[in-house]
Structure 1
Amino acid sequence: MNLYFLVEGKRTERKVYPAWLKHLLPELEQVQNYDEVNKNNYYLFSGEGYPSIIYDHLPNAVADINANGKYNYFVVCLDAEENTVSCIEQEIYDFLTAEKIQMGSTQLVVIIQNRCLETWFLGNRKIYSRQPQSQPLLDYTRYYDISVNCPELMGKYDKFNTHAQFHEAYLKELFRAKNISYSKKNPGDVLKLHYLEQLLTRIENKNHHLPSFQHFINFCNTIRPKLSI
C-alpha cells in the first residue's frame, strides 16, 4: 500500500498530515522522494497554493505516479476557501477530463478542507473558553459559538476578507486564551495525539459536524485494514 499526497499549503499541511498519519496509520512510513516507495509508504508534496496545485502540480504528480507504478492512492488535499466543496471537486475532475489525464489503477481521493485546516482545528472543544472575557474572542463567540455549532458552517466576521482569515484568527484567539500559541509555521498542539483525539470525539458525538474532516478520517479507516495485507 503506497500513497501519494499532494497538499496545497507549504507550511501547515506539510506538518499536520505527517503528524496525524503517524497517529492514525502508524504502519505508513514517509519517504522523501516519490520513487522511493516500496510497501506501506507515502510521499507528500506541497503544491504551494491554489490554483497552481490543480493546473501545474496535479499533472506533474500524475506523471510521477505513472512513472513509478507502485501507488495505490493519489490523495489531493486543498482548501475550499470561498468556494464550496463540490465546486472545488468539480474543478479538479473537469481539469482531469479536459486534459485526458489517466492514472491507471491508482485511485484518486480528493480531500477538501472546508473552509481550511484551521476550520478543522476549531473542532476541539477543549480549547474553547466557556466564559471568554477578552476581546476580540468575546465578539467572535457571540458571532458564532464553535463549541456548539459546526465550525464548517461558520460565516465570515465583518472585519475579515475571507472565511479562512477569520477562522484562523478565531483559532489563534482561542489558543491565546489558553496561554498557548498557533501559527501556520508552528502549528504546535494541533500536531499532537490528544488534539486529534478531541476532533475524533467531536465527530463521534456530533456526526453532522466537520463533514470534510470526516471524509479524511473515513479514508484513513478504509485503508487501515489494507496495510496489514
Structure 2
Amino acid sequence: MNIYMLMEGSKSEPIIYDAWIKHLSPNMTRVYDLNLIDQDNFYITSSDGYPRIVTHSIRDSIQDINANPKIDAFWIVVDSEDSTIEQREQIIGNELAKYPLNRSIDIQIIVQKCCIETWGFGNDRVFPNNNIDAELQEYLNFYDIRVDDPENMTYPNDYDGSIASYHFHYLKKILRMKRISYAKNKPNDLDKGYYFDEICIRANTTSHLSTFSKLKNLLEETF
C-alpha cells in the first residue's frame, strides 16, 4: 500500500500523522520524494492552509498521482473549523470531480472536527487531577471537555479568534499543566503512540470524537 496524503496543515498534522501511521504499522515508511515510492510507503504534502487546498493543491496532487502509477490511495486531511463535515466533504468532492484520475484508486476525505487539537482532548490521562488554576477553570466553566464531546465545543462570544485557535490554546494549557510543551511545529505529545491509544479509548468508550473514530477505523482497516 502506497498512500499520497494531502494536508491542509503544514506543521502539526504531518508530524502527528507520520507518528500515528508508524505506531500502527512500523513497516510503513515515509518518503519525501515521490520518485522514491516503492512499497509500503506514504508521502505527505501540505497545501499551507484553506482554501488553498481546494483552489490549488487538489489539482496539483491529482497531477502527481497520475504521473506515479505506484500510488494506491489518496487521503485528503482538512479541518472543519466553523463548517459542517458535510460542507467540507462536498467542497472537496466537487473539486476532485474536476480532475479525473487515469486509474482507480482509493480516495478518503478526512475531516478533523474542528481541528487536530480537538482530538487531543480525548486523552483523559493528560488532564490534571488537582491544582486546577484560574485560567484552566475558566476554560472548564465554558466547556468541560472531560465530560462533553470536544468536537461540539465552539468558543466564548467574547473570544477574539477562531474555533481552532480556542481549541489550540485550551489544549496547550492542559498540557502545560502536565509539563508538556505543545506547539504547532512540535506537537508534544500528540505525536506519541501512547497518546493515540488514549484517544482511541475515549472514542471506543463514549459517543465522542466521531471524526477521530472515522480516522481510527480507516487506519485500522488499512494497516
Coarse TM-score class (shorter-chain normalised): over 0.9
TM-fit CA distance, 1:105: 1.1
How far apart, in 2, do the equivalents of 1:20 and 1:58 lie? Answer: 23
Partner of 1:171: 171
1:180 aligns with 2:170: no
Is the 8 Å Cα contact of residues 16 and 190 (structure 2) preserved in structure 1? yes
User: Do the aligned residues in 1 keep the contact of 2:59 with 2:99 (CA within 8 Å)?
Assistant: no
CA distance in 1, matches of 2:165, 2:138: 16
CA distance in 1, matches of 2:131, 2:140: 8
Q: What is the rounded CA distance, in whole Å, between the counterparts of 1:12 and 1:107 in structure 2? A: 25
C-alpha contact 1:59 1:101 (8 A) present in aligned 2: no
Distance 1:152 1:132 in 2: 26
In the TM superposition, what is the alpha-carbon distance from 1:185 to its structure 2 partner?
1.3
Figure out how many residues of one structure are paired with residues of the other and give that number: 222
TM-score (norm 1): 0.92
1:150 aligned onto 2:149:
yes
1:96 aligns with 2:91: no
Cross-structure match for 1:212: 211
Query: Aligned with 1:6: secondary structure?
Result: strand
1:176 Cα deviation from its structure 2 partner: 1.7
Q: In the alignment, what sits opposite 2:220?
A: 221
Q: Deviations over 1:9-51 (max 9, x none)?
A: 1111121110111101222111111122111111111111011
Amino acid at match of 1:200: C
Give the % identical residues.
33
For 2:170, what is the secondary structure of its paired residue?
helix
Give the Cα–Cα distance (whole angstroms) in 1 for the partners of residues 7 and 118 of structure 2: 16
Mapping for residues 106-185 of structure 1, pairs under 5 Å: 106-131=105-130, 133-158=132-157, 159-185=159-185
Tell me the amino acid that sits aligned with residue 94 of structure 1: N
Using the TM superposition, give the Cα deviation of residue 125 of structure 1 relative to its aligned residue in structure 2, in angstroms. 0.6
Match of 1:227 in 2: none
The aligned residue for residue 192 of structure 1 is 192
Which whole-Å CA distance do the structure 2 matches of 1:35 and 1:45 have between them? 14
| Counterpart residue number, 1:23 | 23
Question: What's the TM-score, normalizing by structure 2?
Answer: 0.95
Shift of the alpha carbon at 1:104?
2.0
Structure 1 match to 2:86: 86
For residue 73 of structure 2, what is the aligned residue in structure 1? 73
Q: Which amino acid counterpart does residue 22 of structure 1 have in structure 2? A: K
Distance 1:191 1:100 in 2: 33
**Following the alignment from structure 1 to structure 2, what is the Cα–Cα distance between the partners of residues 37 and 23?**
20
Q: For the residues of structure 1 that align with 2:120 and 2:188, how far apart are their CA atoms?
A: 11
The aligned amino acid for 2:118 is: T
Q: Distance in 2 between matches of 1:103 and 1:209?
A: 38
Q: What is the Cα deviation at residue 133 of structure 1?
A: 3.0
Is this contact kept in 2: 1:124–1:199, CA < 8 A? Answer: yes
Does the CA-based 8 Å contact 1:132-1:138 persist in structure 2?
no
- TM-fit CA distance, 1:103: 5.1
Measure how far apart 1:131 and its partner are. Answer: 4.5
